[in-house]
């Protein structure tokens, strides 16, 4: 039986920060409920359909009125608040009395903040991973692919990349140079045709947002992110623009409830090609070719080399330019960032981690194989 002193001590700790203690208990309850219900696909699907998707659509429509990223603003304000709070708390801890109480409040504030954010994340994003995914909602086939099928579709996208590459602006060095603001200005139309073909991709016609401090994203190897607390699709606008349009479409796919990275990659290619805009089509074909050719290199190096040699010179220039850009950011920061994100993907049952990006190859081959075969017959 606990002593009165122990009871008074517990009551005293709670009284030091009652609101924070209540928030911790509430957040812990939400997180536990999320972990327990992960096995119930029907429950998570209902939660996504009735609450999460409508919330993201409403937030996306509201914040689309502003051309800047509220996500970036909130992240910046949060980072500044953390720094100010930490510095002021340490100063008070050193200069003022009741050091143990102040230290406890500081620690309980950190725990409370972390748990609250993670609980919100579980509700506003984590549930997507345990609901019906795009493959199930779309009814697309999920079949094994042969090396020959992979070769045909890789060649098909290599040819299309060259064709669309001649219809987009290039600089004196032959490198793709479309203005990034122009690409972003058209982003609200990207999914108009795709959602007619796949109603599960329905969503508001809103713009992706460029991040002002995009170079920081490059250091962490990020080209874009979806922010579930504002419903905004955000993209890095510092790196070469050859894949920017595809990245825009990728993040907009997340906004429409496509959580898995490999499926968002496929949706980006699909939506961009159906959209028909040369910049989006070029970026989609370029991106698809990179995914497919990387897979083909492992399966059939000779075929990969043959297709690679036949690429349009403009495409080769973009590949070289893109590679040179990202090589300058190959630092320990990027390695740590990739490790953290890989751990996150695995924690949400994407066992392949970052390698799951390559799984979109199956979707691309299964969906475009008939077009690829037909193109070879008409040559």
Number of helices (H), then strands (E), in the chain: 18, 3
Whether 233 contacts 215, CB under 8 Å: no
Whether 210 contacts 235, CB under 8 Å: yes
pLDDT tens per residue across all 379 residues of the chain? 455 555 555 556 777 788 999 999 999 999 999 999 999 999 999 999 999 999 999 999 999 999 999 999 999 999 999 999 999 999 988 888 888 888 988 999 999 999 999 999 999 999 999 999 999 999 888 888 899 999 999 999 999 999 999 999 999 999 999 999 999 999 999 999 999 999 999 999 999 999 999 999 999 999 999 999 999 999 999 999 999 999 999 999 999 999 999 999 999 999 999 999 999 999 999 999 999 999 999 999 999 999 999 999 999 999 999 999 999 988 775 565 556 556 655 555 555 443 433 578 999 999 999 999 998 877 6
The CA–CA distances, whole Å, from 354 to 133, 179, 298, 345, 357 equal: 18, 30, 17, 7, 6
Given this model, what pLDDT does residue 337 score?
Answer: 55
Task: Tell me phi and psi for residue 221, to 5 degrees.
Answer: 65, 35
Given this model, what pLDDT does residue 45 score?
Answer: 95
Both tokens of 116, joined, read 């609250």
The CA–CA distances, whole Å, from 330 to 165, 236, 334, 354 equal: 28, 17, 6, 16
Locate the domains of the chain by residue range.
4-130, 136-377
Rounded CA-CA distance 303/130 in Å is 38
DSSP alpha helix (H) spans, 145-235: 147-165, 180-185, 194-197, 214-219
pTM of structure = 0.90
């Amino acid at each position: 039986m606990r002593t009165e002193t122990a009871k008074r001590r517990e009551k005293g700790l709670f009284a030091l920060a009652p609101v924070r203690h209540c928030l911790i208990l509430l957040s812990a309850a939400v997180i536990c409920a999320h972990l327990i219900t992960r096995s119930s696909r029907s429950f998570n699907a209902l939660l996504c359909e009735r609450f999460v998707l409508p919330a993201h659509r409403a937030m996306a429509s509201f914040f689309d009125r502003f051309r800047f990223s509220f996500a970036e603003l909130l992240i910046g304000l949060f980072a500044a608040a953390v720094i100010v709070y930490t510095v002021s708390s340490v100063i008070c801890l050193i200069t003022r009395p009741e050091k143990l109480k102040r230290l406890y409040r500081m620690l309980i504030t950190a725990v409370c903040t972390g748990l609250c954010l993670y609980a919100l994340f579980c509700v506003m994003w984590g549930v997507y991973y345990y609901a019906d995914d795009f493959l199930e909602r779309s009814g697309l086939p999920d079949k094994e692919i042969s090396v020959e099928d992979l070769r045909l579709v890789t060649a098909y996208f290599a040819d299309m990349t060259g064709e669309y590459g001649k219809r987009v602006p290039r600089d004196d060095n032959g490198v793709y140079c479309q203005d990034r603001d122009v690409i972003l200005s058209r982003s609200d139309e990207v999914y108009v045709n795709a959602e007619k073909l796949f109603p599960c991709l329905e969503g508001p016609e809103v713009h992706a947002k460029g991040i002002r401090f995009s170079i920081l994203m490059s250091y962490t190897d990020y080209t874009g992110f979806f922010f579930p607390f504002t419903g905004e699709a955000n993209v890095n606008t510092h790196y070469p623009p050859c894949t920017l349009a595809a990245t825009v479409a990728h993040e907009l796919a997340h906004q429409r409830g496509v959580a898995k990275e490999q499926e968002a990659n496929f949706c980006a290619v699909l939506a961009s090609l159906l959209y028909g805009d040369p910049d989006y089509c070029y970026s989609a074909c370029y991106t698809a070719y990179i995914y497919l050719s990387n897979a083909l290199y492992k399966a059939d190096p000779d075929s990969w080399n043959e297709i690679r040699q036949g690429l349009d010179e403009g495409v080769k220039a973009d590949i070289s330019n893109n590679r040179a850009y990202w090589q300058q950011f190959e630092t320990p920061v990027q390695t740590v960032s990739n490790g953290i994100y890989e751990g996150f993907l695995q924690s949400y049952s994407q066992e392949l981690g970052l390698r799951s990006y390559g799984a979109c190859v199956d979707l691309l081959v299964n969906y475009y194989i008939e077009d690829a075969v037909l193109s070879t017959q008409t040559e």
